[in-house]
Amino acid sequence: MPYDPSAFPPFAVTVDLVVLTVRRHALCALAVRRGEQPFQGRWALPGGFVRADEDLAQAAARELAEETGLRAHDPSAPAQDNGAHLEQLATYGDPKRDPRMRVVSVAHLALAPDLPAPRAGGDANSARWAPVEELLQQGGYGRDGEPVAPLAFDHAQILADGVERARSKIEYSSLATAFCPPEFTVGELRRVYEAVWGVALDPRNFHRKVTGTPGFLVPTGGTTTRQGGRPAQLFRAGGATLLNPPMLRPEV
Amino acid sequence: MPYDPSAFPPFAVTVDLVVLTVRRHALCALAVRRGEQPFQGRWALPGGFVRADEDLAQAAARELAEETGLRAHDPSAPAQDNGAHLEQLATYGDPKRDPRMRVVSVAHLALAPDLPAPRAGGDANSARWAPVEELLQQGGYGRDGEPVAPLAFDHAQILADGVERARSKIEYSSLATAFCPPEFTVGELRRVYEAVWGVALDPRNFHRKVTGTPGFLVPTGGTTTRQGGRPAQLFRAGGATLLNPPMLRPEV
DNA sequence: ATCATAGTCGTCTTCCTGACGATAAACACG
DNA sequence: CGTGTTTATCGTCAGGAAGACGACTATGAT
C-alpha cells in the first residue's frame, strides 16, 4: 500500500559541500559562482539535489567528484589512497533558507590535499579556492579585488560550521593527514596545523609529539628537500585514527 | 516564480530522537512502541514528520515535548533551567531505510535528568526507558522478559551513533551536567560518567578534577545526604561549557 | 558503640607539555 | 670555497596534570 502523500509536506533534499584544503599557508574552501536566481552571480558552496536512488553519502561523493575530480574514499580507510576525506557535517532546514521552496540541505565536509585547480563544468571562472577568512568576513574581497563574500543562502553558516569541525577534529584525530599528499614530512604536517588553526607551533615539540604517537606516522624510508633546508624524512599516515592524548590547540 | 517540482525527487523529512538519561546506574534511552506498519508492535525511537513551517530544531523540540513533557532549552544557556539538552546528531537517508517511501530523518540527541515516567499519549505501555545495552544487543530483552530489540528501521544505528556522541562529548564538555538535576553533588556527577562510560572512576581524583576546573561547578552552599554517608556539597553547573584539559576516558 | 557508606583532603610518582639550546644537512651567495 | 640561511632533528629542564592510594570526616544503620 502506497503511503498517503498528503500526510506530510514535500521537501527537496540537497547536499552542500564544504571542501577544505591548505594553499599557500592558508585554509581555503571551494566556492562556485551561481549561474541562476536566486543569488545569481554570487559565490556559494558546491552542491546539488539528492537523486531518488542515492544515499546521502553517495550524493555528496558524486558532487565532490563533479566539482573537483576527487574520489572520496571510504571513511574506514583514511588517507590510504589520495582520495579525499568525506564526512557528514550537519543538516540545515530553516523554512526560509531558500526563497523558492522548502529545501533541506545535508552539508558534508571534505578535506583534500592541495589540488592543481578547480574545475566546474570546464568553466574556470565559476569555481575557485578562496581563503575561508575572506569567505567568512562581511564583504570579503579576493586577491583580484572581486567580492567573494557574503556567500549565498546560509552557506556562510555552513562554512563556519565546517571550518570549526575541521579545527576541532584535527586535535584528537589524524585527520590533518587528509590535507597532505600521500607522502609528507613532519614539517608539512605541522604547516597544515598552523594553517588550519592560524597559530605558530614549535617545530621541535611538534616533531616529538607526532613521531612519538604510535601508529600515527609510518616512515617510508625516503627523504625530500622540497621545502628547502636539511632533507626531511617522508611519512605515510599510519593506521591510528584517534590521537591520544590529543594535540593541544594553543590558547590564544 | 515557483520552482519546477519535476526537477527533483520528493522526500519526506522526519526528526528522530535519541533521548538519553541515567537510571539506576545505567544509560537508558527512550523507546516507543510502533502502532502501525511497518514494524508494527516493535520498539523504535520517538520521532515524526517535520511540519511545513517548522525548523528542524523546532520539530525536534516539539517531538521531545510531546513524548516526555521536557522543554528543550536554548543551546546557548546550558543547564540553566531543568530543560533538556538538545542538539542535532546526524541525518540518515538511505533510499531503503523506510520501505514505504523515501524518508530522510534528521536525528537529534537529547540528554535529560532522570524523569518520573515516560508518557506517550497517555499510554504507559507504548513508551519506556530501556538500557541502551538491551536496545543495542541482538534480541535484547527487557527486565520483564519482553523483547525490546532490535529496534525498527535503522534506529539501532541512530541510537548507537547518539550514544557514541554522548560518550565522547562528556569528555571535553560540561554536558554530563545535563543528566543531573539542577543541584547535584560531585558523587552524583561521577556516577553519571560511570554509567555513560561503563567504567569505575576514582572518587578522589574525580573530585579533584571537577572542583579544580574553573567555571565547571558552582557551589550553592547547600548539602545533601540523599546518597547516604557523609553530607555532600551541592553544586550547580557553571558557565564553562568546554573542559580544558578534558576528562580522560580510561583505556579499556 | 560500632559499622558501613560516601565525601574530602593530601601525597607521591610518572608522564606530558612548553620553552628553548644545540647540532645536522641541504642550498644560495659572495 | 667558506659563510649564512633554511629546515630538520635531538636533548634538556621545569611545571603541571593524572593515576594510585592513604587518611580523615560526617552521616545513617544496627
- Contact criterion met (CB < 8 Å) for A49 and B3: no
Cell 624524512 found at: A233
For chain A, the average pLDDT equals 89
Cell 563574500 found at: A149
User: pLDDT confidence of B2, banded at 50, 70, 90?
Assistant: very low
CA distance A129 to A133: 12
Share of chain A above pLDDT 90, in %: 71
CA distance B132 to B26: 8
- What is the maximal distance between C-alpha atoms in chain B? 71
Using the predicted structure, report yes or no on whether residue B126 has a pLDDT greater than 60. yes
Q: Which residue of B has its CA nearest to A247?
A: B245
Give the Cβ contact number of residue A49 at 10 Å. 17
Q: Which of B8, B54, B101 sits opposite A95 (nearest CB)?
A: B54
Q: What pTM did the predictor assign?
A: 0.92
Q: Are A132 and A29 in contact (CB under 8 A)?
A: yes
Q: Which of A13, A91, A102 sits opposite B88 (nearest CB)?
A: A91
For B5-169, CATH number out of 3.40.50.2000, 3.30.360.10, 2.120.10.30, 3.90.79.10 equals 3.90.79.10
Q: Which residue of A has its CA nearest to B60?
A: A93
Q: Tell me the residue ranges of DSSP E strands in chain B.
A: 12-23, 26-33, 43-44, 47-49, 85-92, 103-111, 127-131, 217-224, 232-237
- In the prediction, which pLDDT does B78 show? 46
Strand partners of residue B22: B27
- In the prediction, which pLDDT does A20 show? 98
- In the prediction, which pLDDT does A3 show? 47
Strand D closer than 7 Å to the CB of B230? yes
Q: Does B52 touch chain A (CB under 8 A)?
A: yes
Strand C closer than 7 Å to the CB of A190? no
- In the prediction, which pLDDT does A251 show? 72
| Residue type at position A87 | E
Give tens-digit pLDDT for B79-92.
445 579 999 999 99
CB contacts < 8 A, A to B, total 90
Rg (CA), chain A: 19
Instruction: List the B232 CA – D25 C1' distance (angstroms).
Output: 11
Topology of domain A173-237, CATH: Arc Repressor Mutant, subunit A (1.10.10)
Using the predicted structure, report yes or no on whether residue A15 has a pLDDT greater than 90. yes
Full DSSP string of A68-133:
H-PPBPPTTSTTSSSPBEEEEEEEE--TTSSSSS-EEEEEEEEE----S---STT-GGGEEEEEHH
Please report residues of B whose CB lies closer than 8 A to that of A245: 248
CA distance A216 to A224: 20
| Residue intervals in chain B for CATH 1.10.10.10 | 173-237
Mean pLDDT score, B150-176: 96
| Residue intervals in chain A for CATH 3.90.79.10 | 5-169
Residue A232: its H or E element:
strand A232-237
Give tens-digit pLDDT for A31-57.
999 988 899 999 999 999 999 999 999
Strand C closer than 7 Å to the CB of A24? no
Mean pLDDT score, B32-59: 94
Give tens-digit pLDDT for A110-148.
999 987 666 655 555 689 999 999 999 876 666 666 777
Q: Which chain C positions come under 7 Å from a protein C-beta?
A: 4-11, 16-22, 24-27
Residue B29 main-chain phi, psi, to 5 deg: -125, 155
